[in-house]
Every structure is written in C-alpha cells, then in structure tokens.
Structure 1
Amino acid sequence: MKTSLNSSDKIAVPVIIGLSIAVPAIVVVLMLLPERYNIFGADSMTFPLFHGVLNFLTAILLVVGYFFMKADKFLAHRNTMIAAFGLSVVFLVSYVLSKISNEPVPYGGEGILRYVYFFILVSHIILSGIIVPLVLFTMYRGLSGEYDKHSRIAKWTFPIWLYVAVTGVLVFLFMMPYY
C-alpha cells in the first residue's frame, strides 16, 4: 500500500528530519570545543542542577500525561505533553549553553557504581539522540489530528522519553559530588 505525504507533511517531515540530525550534531560539536566561554558566569553546579530539575519535572509531566490519556482526558493529555515538550526544549537550549560555558566534569566514582553510572550514561546518551525525532513526530501527529499515527509512535516515544528523563536525573545524582 502506497502512502502519500499530505501538504503539511511535505514541510514538517523534512524539518523534523533536519532537526533530528542537527540537534545531536550540535551537541557533539559543542562537547568537542577546545575552549569554553562562561557566558553567564555560572558555577559548575548551576546548569547540572537546573537540568536535573527539568528532567525530573519532565518525567512527572510524562507520567501525568499518560494517565490523562488512559482516562480519556485528551485535552489535559495534550496540554501536559506540550508542557513536557516545552521543558525538554528549555533543557536542550540550557544544555547547549552549558556545553559552551563549562568544561566537562569527569565521574570520580569507583567500583560497581562506576559501571552502573556508565551504563546509565551511555544508554541515556544513545536514547537522547533517538528521542528527538520520536518526540517531534509524536507531537506533530498528535497536534495535526492524526491520532492513529500519533498513538502508534507514542507507544515507542513514551517509554524512551521517560527513560531519558529519569536517567537524566540519575546522571545528575551520580555526578553531584564531583561538580
């Protein structure tokens, strides 16, 4: 069965694909900067704490939004998920600014915690790249009223997005003693 793109898909799909490539690429480039520029004069704990709070709030909103959807409260679901998306956008902008501003801080833990930390960190990083197109397509399909497509992709998006948000908090907690 051949499906064709509608007129809004002809714009939205390339934009989503472009952002899905650009966002991780920008983060990688910023992590490799030879010099940092502390734009706001923030200490090394400011951004990580802010990011931990944003990830925590995003996780809460995702769970609340899920329960609204299960309860057929679709307007509340939509608004909650838009709020979670908004927090994720704020996180992303702040994360980019933090990579420009602060040197990376190495993890200093030892033993089994070191292995646990790096497992969480690596899975968080990989899924953070994957979640960008998933969230963008899920939001687009939901806001454009394509609820069947929205539902099919949201079954993948929700658990991955929640995992990324929760592990973002865990990475902060693991790293807190070293900031």
Structure 2
Amino acid sequence: MSTVRRPQFAREHPRAFAALLTVVGYVVVIGTLYGDLGIYPEISESTVDLLAHAISVVNAATIVCLVLGIRWIKRGEIEKHRAAMLAAFGLILLFLVMYLLKTGGGGRKEIIAGAPLRSLYLGSLGIHIFLSVLAVPFVLYAITLGLTHTPAELRQTAHATVGRVAVTAWLVSLVLGLLAYGMLTFYYGPEQIEFVRGIA
C-alpha cells in the first residue's frame, strides 16, 4: 500500500475535482483566445513559427506515449502504462504553455480563401479542436483516478472506460492536429497563408 498522502478531495470526489480543473482550463484558454489578458509578451512571427514546430514535436511525442501506454496496459504492465500516461499528460501541459504563448503573444496563420484543399485543412483543424475540447474532462478524470487510487482500487472505478474515451479522442485530435500543421507548413506556399496577429 502506498504511503503517499493523496489529496482527499480529489480522491473522494474525482468527478468534481476533474470538472473544476476542466473549467479552469477552459477559462484560461478562452480568455487567451477571446479576451485581452495582457499577460503574454509580444513575440515575432518567426517565434510563432518556432513555437508551432516545437508544438508539433511535442504532439508527436505525446502520440508515442499514448500508443505505448495502450500497448502496456493491454499486456498488464501497469507501472509502464502509468509512466507513459503521466508523460503524455506532462507533454500536453507543455503544449498548452507553448500554445498559449504562441496565440496570446503572437498570433496564428490562416489559409486564404480559394487555396486548394482548404476544406480538408479546415475540416481537420475543426475536428482537432472539437476533440481537444471534448477530451479535456475525460483526460483529467482518468488522470485524477489514476493518481488517487491504487491499481486494485482502480478496477472498481470507471478509470478503464473513461480512459478509453479519453485516449481515443486525444489520439485522433493529435493526429488531425499534425495533419493540419503538415499542410500549413509543407503544402501551402507563403502566398496562400495569412498571418493574423492577436486573439482569435
């Protein structure tokens, strides 16, 4: 039995704790995208590009961690599964910091109307964003359960079911995000891209 003292509220009320974290996360992101928080340093377009590349690397690494986590839990290697999922969660927090800095302090790039395959790009980006938003409460709930319960206790919770939903939405979102990044970076030329500074 673990000797680590777990936060009692998170352990006894994991849904409420995950919901609270979800709301806080949504407020921070929405405030960055649509509010004028004034907390981000202004960055150049080249730094925005650099952060976009770094984000793609982080997202690719997250995919690797999630796939390994799935593989290990299917083999019953619980500690490896736990390590992979915590690594994926840590990477997504790193992504969030870079994304907020890139968007809040810099801007974003958009494909101009009439560009080829623009519908594919926008569709991939839209589904990516939708699944990202959808995955947040499931990921936080699964992580909360995993951090506050022993493996034996987890079998009596919804951890496995919620985890499957979380990982599915998360993985598809990440893959589509990388597809959109790849199109924006390698398919479209500078004349087809518009840099928009500031909030969404």
With the shorter chain as reference, the TM-score category is: 0.7 to 0.9
The corresponding residue for 2:182 is 173
Change (3 A) 1:127 1:13: same
Deviates more, 1:102-111 or 1:160-169: 102-111
Larger radius of gyration: 2
Q: Deviations over 1:78-100 (max 9, x none)?
A: 10111011001111111111112
Contact 1:44 1:102 in 2 (8 A): yes
Determine which of 134, 141, 144 is the counterpart of 1:140. Answer: 144
**Local SS of the residue matching 1:83:** helix
Structure in which a larger fraction of residues adopt strand: 2
Count the aligned residue pairs. 174
Shift of 1:64: 0.9
Deviates more, 1:129-138 or 1:145-154: 145-154
The corresponding residue for 1:23 is 25
Contact 1:51 1:91 in 2 (8 A): yes
**Structure 1 CA distance for aligned equivalents of residues 70 and 113 of structure 2:** 35
Q: Once superposed, what is the RMSD of the aligned Cα atoms?
A: 2.5
Contact 1:33 1:100 in 2 (8 A): no
The corresponding residue for 2:161 is 152
Deviates more, 1:128-137 or 1:101-110: 101-110
The residue type equivalent to 2:131 in the other structure is L
Deviates more, 1:158-167 or 1:139-148: 139-148
**Structure 1 CA distance for aligned equivalents of residues 24 and 10 of structure 2:** 21
Contact 1:117 1:171 in 2 (8 A): yes
Change (3 A) 1:40 1:80: farther
**Structure 2 CA distance for aligned equivalents of residues 40 and 29 of structure 1:** 21
Contact 1:65 1:77 in 2 (8 A): yes
The residue type equivalent to 2:54 in the other structure is F
Q: Deviations over 1:87-119 (max 9, x none)?
A: 011111111111121122212374561111111
**TM-score normalised by the chain length of structure 1:** 0.84
**Local SS of the residue matching 2:158:** helix
**Structure 1 CA distance for aligned equivalents of residues 182 and 45 of structure 2:** 23
**Mind listing any 5+ residue stretches in structure 1 that lack a counterpart?**
1-5
Contact 1:53 1:169 in 2 (8 A): no
**Structure 1 CA distance for aligned equivalents of residues 121 and 33 of structure 2:** 19
**Local SS of the residue matching 2:48:** coil
**Structure 2 CA distance for aligned equivalents of residues 108 and 63 of structure 1:** 35
Change (3 A) 1:11 1:152: closer
Q: Percent identity?
A: 25
**Structure 2 CA distance for aligned equivalents of residues 79 and 164 of structure 1:** 21
Contact 2:10 2:17 in 1 (8 A): no
**Structure 2 CA distance for aligned equivalents of residues 165 and 173 of structure 1:** 12
Q: Deviations over 1:23-49 (max 9, x none)?
A: 223222212356874258962211111
Change (3 A) 1:12 1:127: same
Change (3 A) 1:94 1:7: closer
**Structure 2 CA distance for aligned equivalents of residues 87 and 159 of structure 1:** 17
The residue type equivalent to 1:88 in the other structure is I
